[in-house]
Each structure stands twice: as C-alpha cells, then as structure tokens.
A and B are shown apart, each in its own frame.
Chain A
Amino acid sequence: MITIKNVKKKFDNTEILKGISLNVEDGKVVAIIGPSGSGKTTFLRCINYLEDPDEGVISVGDSLITAGKAGKKDILELQRRTSFVFQNYNLFRNKTAIENVMLALTVVKKYPKKKAREIAEEMLDKVSLPRDRFEYYPSSLSGGQQQRIAIARALALNPEVMLLDEPTSALDPELVDGVLDVIRTVANEGITLIVVTHELSFAAEVADEVVFMDNGEIVEQGKANDVLRRPRELRTRNFLRSIRREYPKIS
C-alpha cells in the first residue's frame, strides 16, 4: 500500500506541487497524465526521494517519511522499496547490460555474484533482451534495448512499487510498442506501478486508475475508463482533446 499525503514542492519561488495526495493499493497500476509542466515528473521523483518534498508524508509499505524530518537512513530505506525507470534510461555506461542489473544486487543487497547473475539473467529474459546482448555496453545498444535493461534493473530489486517516468518518450516510434509490451507483462505480474505517460491507449488498457494532473494539483482521478472516456472536469476534457488532435492514432 502506498499512501501519499499533501506533498508540496517549490523550486525557487515557483510552486510545482500544491499538495498532492494519492493512495495506491498493492498490485494496482496507476497512470498519471497531464500537460508538460504540470508537475507529474516532480511528483514521481518525490515518491523515490530523488527530489525531497517541502511538505507532506510518503509511505510505501512499512516505510514512512515525513518531509523535512527524514534521516538519511529513512530515505535510503524508502529508495530501496521503490525503483525508478527514467525517460532517458540512465544506464551505467561503464557496465554491460547484465552488470547494470547486477550492480544493485551485489552492492546494495550484498548477494553473491553468482546469485546476482542468475537473477539478472532472469530479469533480462523477462524484458526480452536477446541473450547475445547481455555482455554489450549501453553505447552499443538501441534505445529500446536500453530501456528494457533499465526496467530489468528496476525489477531486479523486487520493489514494492515501480515508478516509470515517460518510459517511451525518448524512443524511436518503432521501438515504443516493444517496451510497452514489457511494461504490460510487468503489470500483469502484479507489481504496483505508477507510470507517467502520454500513451493514452496504453493507459486505458493497462492502468486500473488514471490521475490527471494540471498546474501542480490533481484535477481528476478515477477508473481509467471513466477519466479517459467520460471526464468530468473541463480541464481534463481540453487536455484529452488536444492530445488526441496531436496523436490521432493513439486514441
């Protein structure tokens, strides 16, 4: 269970998050949509404490953090329960595909190399990275392959929640579907996911719940079908209309 209460964040004097609360039950998939600059990414980063919120409470499983009162250990604990998939993959460039997945297992979880390698192989199989690519460095791999590895790296830690920040936005169009397939597989395994995405049809299909954010607050949230097909709020409707105009094939 993930509970987020009244999270606020300012950059300089600009209020990016104006008090966001969200509950996510275990095993659910939540898609966050909204215009750029609405604070979606910042919110996601706060859950992983890549950004420390100014106010609010974040709790994932048994770990609970109140903004401003968190010690280093609490933050590390939270980070070990959550994992993050970045828009531009952020793979470790000095490590091969499989080493990228193994690193946190050997360093953070202190698994022996052999066990770490077994888990890493299993994860890379799961994200359908061809076996002959396991020993390649990121610079020799395509964006789609790199993002698969990033997902495998996040999965390997067996997190309570996986946070994905526009995981397909940096990909060439022909690679998007493959990565979405991987995320779909992960979702079906019952891992809790929070995904910031512009892929509305994907959100409609995979997400249990859709959250529409605008201007630092949650405007509307509910069942994916309700929010995407029968939005109550004007702002949601306008946003959906603009996106559908821009990417007609997606909707």
Chain B
Amino acid sequence: MKLFDVDFFIESFPKILAKLPVTLLISVAAFLFAVIIGFIVALVKIYKVPILQRLADIYISFIRGTPVLVQLYIICYGIPKVIYYEQVNYSRLTAVDVNLIPGVIYVLVAYSVNIGAYQAETIRSAIEAVGRGQMEAATSVGMTRTQTMVHVIIPQAFVIALPNFGNALISAVKDTSLVFVAGVIDILAQAKILGARVFNFLEVYIAAALVYWAICIVIEVLIKKTEEYIRRYERAIV
C-alpha cells in the first residue's frame, strides 16, 4: 500500500482543476449579488428606515447565527417546496418546472443571501467612515443625497471596504465547497467523485486543496494591486 499515489494525484489534478470555473463563477457571482444586497441593507440601517431596519437586524442576526450548510439546506428544500405549494394550491407560478431549476440557482441564492449579511456591516461601516463632514459639504453646495453617494461617498467607501471585500471573496471561494448539497459539481465535489471511484481520497483532497490555495493567492494579489491603484489619492505630502 502506498501512502500517496503520485500517479493518481497527477491524473486527477487536471480533472479537478477543470471545475475551477464552477467554483469561481459561483463565488464571484454570489459575491457581486451580496455586495448589492449588502449596500441596500447598509442604506436601510444608515438612514434608519422604519420597519425595514428591524428586518435588516433580524436578517443579519439570523445569517450570522446559523451555519451556512443549514442555510443551504433550507434554500434547496424550501424554494422548490414553496413553488410546488403555490402551483398546487393557487395555480400560480405554473410556468416554472421545479425539476428543471438547476442546482446552481439555489446555491447562488443561498450564498448571495449569506455573504450579503456580512457585507452589509462592512459596507455600513465603510460609508460611515467617510465621515459626516464631506456629506455635509456636499449638502451645503446643493447636491442631493444620491449625487453625494455617487460622487463622494461610494468611491471613498469602496476603498475603505476593499480589504474586507478581498477577505470576503476569499472566504466565498472556500465556503462554496459545500455546493454538492445542491448537486452542483465544483472542485471539491469533483474530488469526492474521483476519490470514490478508487477509494483513494487523500490524493484528490490534496489536489483540491492546492487548487483552492492557488486561486486564493491570485485573488489576494489582484486585490492588493487594485488597492494600490485606487488609493493613489491618499499619497502622503509630496
């Protein structure tokens, strides 16, 4: 018996790597949706919108207080059931065939909602960090709230939030390794399948780990470069 079957490792590696786009697509898309959700929730909290503010608190608390795997189960079993219920009881949503909805949709919904809750707090604190002073200055020259957001606050809040965005994206890449629950075959699911064929798991899991590690390093570098570019207006005194 071998501790580590190098041939099997080399043979499986490209097959696992081939699923990298799936992992990337899910994590990047979910992350982008999450930023939109997070921004809306952050605005609700900053402007203290009645009722919605309460809902936002409950949403954030629930997502942070429950495992992402449980949230995935709830979405994967919940959405089809709701659609089916509507169809049977009220003849609504009949254009949808529950069996044809790809698992990736559930996964995207679950992760967007999950990451969105965390991003809401990041974005809220970033917007508040820009400071009241500049908001007031914009008001004093007659700019509307939206104009102020677009031209003054968001560009600066984005820079402040960037390191957190980087961490969140890296977490997203790793956290999506649970998507086999919805029948989606990503890096880890592929590794499981390959390993199960020959009952040799260590090699494929190490291969999967290396792929995750590499992509996270790449993301880290990209974020760093972006940050350097965007922070150019914060140069010290020349």
Q: Which residues of A contact B (CB under 8 A)?
A: 48, 50, 76, 79-80, 82-84, 86, 88, 90-96, 103-104, 107-108, 136-137, 139-140, 150, 153-154, 157
Measured between C-beta atoms, what is the minimum distance from B147 to chain A in Å?
Answer: 5
10 pairs, CB–CB < 8 Å, chain A vs chain B: A48-B140, A83-B141, A88-B133, A90-B137, A94-B233, A96-B233, A104-B141, A107-B143, A108-B143, A139-B235
Say yes or no: A79 contacts B139, CB within 8 Å.
yes
Residues of chain A contacted by B238 (CB below 8 angstroms):
136, 140
Q: How large is the interface on B (under 10, 10 to 19, 20 to 34, 35 or more residues)?
A: 20 to 34
Contact of A108 among B141, B152, B155, B237 (CB under 8 A): B141
Asked if B147 and A107 make an inter-chain contact with CB atoms under 8 angstroms apart, the answer reads: yes
With A79-B139, A84-B137, A86-B137 already in contact, 15 other A-B pairs whose C-beta atoms are closer than 8 Å: A48-B139, A50-B136, A80-B142, A84-B140, A90-B133, A90-B134, A90-B137, A92-B152, A94-B155, A94-B233, A103-B152, A136-B238, A137-B233, A139-B236, A140-B237
User: Does B136 lie within 8 Å of A86, measured CB to CB?
Assistant: yes
**Counting CB contacts under 8 A, is B156 at the interface?**
yes
Q: Which of B130-173 contact A (CB under 8 A)?
A: 133-134, 136-144, 147, 151-152, 155-156, 159
Alpha-carbon gap, A79 to B235, bound state (A)? 33
A-B contacts counted at CB < 8 A amount to: 79
A-chain residues with CB within 8 Å of residue B144 when the two chains form the complex: 76
A140 → chain B, closest Cβ, in Å? 5
Kindly provide the distance from the CB of B28 to the nearest chain A CB, expressed in whole angstroms. Answer: 26
Residue of B nearest to A101 (CB): B141
- Chief secondary structure at chain B's binding surface: helix
B234 within 8 A of A: yes
B contact residues vs A (CB 8 Å cutoff): 133-134, 136-144, 147, 151-152, 155-156, 159, 233-238
Q: Which residue of B lies closest to A137 (CB)?
A: B233
Given contact pairs A103-B151, A140-B237, A140-B238, A50 touches B141 in the complex (Cβ within 8 A): no
Beta-carbon contact of B142 and A79 below 8 Å:
yes
Known: A88-B133, A93-B156, A107-B147. A137 touches B234 (CB 8 A): yes
Q: Say how far A166's CB is from chain B's closest CB, in angstroms.
A: 14
- For A94, list chain B residues within 8 Å (CB): 152, 155-156, 159, 233
Q: Give the docked Cα–Cα distance between A104 and B143 (Å).
A: 7
Complex-state Cα separation, A107 to B155, whole angstroms: 16
Q: Which residues of chain B are within 8 angstroms of A84 by Cβ–Cβ distance? A: 136-137, 140
Q: How long is the Cα–Cα vector from A95 to B236 in the complex, in angstroms?
A: 15
**CB-CB < 8 A to A80: which residues of B?**
142
Residues of chain A within 8 A (CB-CB) of B234 are: 93, 137, 139
Complex Cα spacing A108 to B136, Å: 15
Contact across chains for B133 and A86 when beta carbons are under 8 A apart = yes
Complex Cα gap A180–B128 (Å): 32
- Chain A neighbourhood of B236, CB < 8 A: 139-140
| B157: nearest chain-A partner, CB-CB | A94
Q: For B132, give the chain A residue with the smallest CB separation.
A: A90
CB distance from B154 to the nearest CB of A (A): 9
Nearest A residue to B140 via CB reads A84
3 smallest CB-CB distances across A and B, nearest first, come from A84-B140, A80-B142, A104-B141
Residue ID in chain B nearest A77 by CB atoms = B142
Q: Which residue of A lies closest to B136 (CB)?
A: A50
B134 neighbours in A (Cβ, 8 Å): 90-93
Contacts of A88 in B (CB 8 A): 133
